[in-house]
Amino acid sequence: MEAGDVPLADLIARFELGTQLLKVCEGRLQEAELRIEQLRRQKDGTIVTERLETGREA
């Protein structure tokens, strides 16, 4: 790409693929953050977890 030997159409296709992959990664990160937020510490110091329903099969 830096040498300028890749056609513009290929560059655009690679950019679009990168954008799609970014969205997938951001979605997975958001799901992970929600799971972490669902960890709660009780008054006695124990940690309680709740299953996160994402609508997606694991």
Q: Where in the chain are the domains?
A: 8-48
Highest mean pLDDT among 21-25, 34-38, 48-52, 53-57: 21-25
d(CA 1, CA 51): 45
Residue at 56: amino acid letter:
R
Q: What is the mean pLDDT of residues 32-56?
A: 70
The answer, as to whether pTM is greater than 0.75, is no
State which H helix or E strand residue 47 sits in.
strand 47-48
**Coil, strand, or helix at residue 40?**
strand
Residue ranges of the alpha helices (H) in 1-58?
8-37
At residue 2 the predicted structure's pLDDT band, cuts being 50, 70 and 90, is low
d(CA 38, CA 24): 22
d(CA 24, CA 30): 10
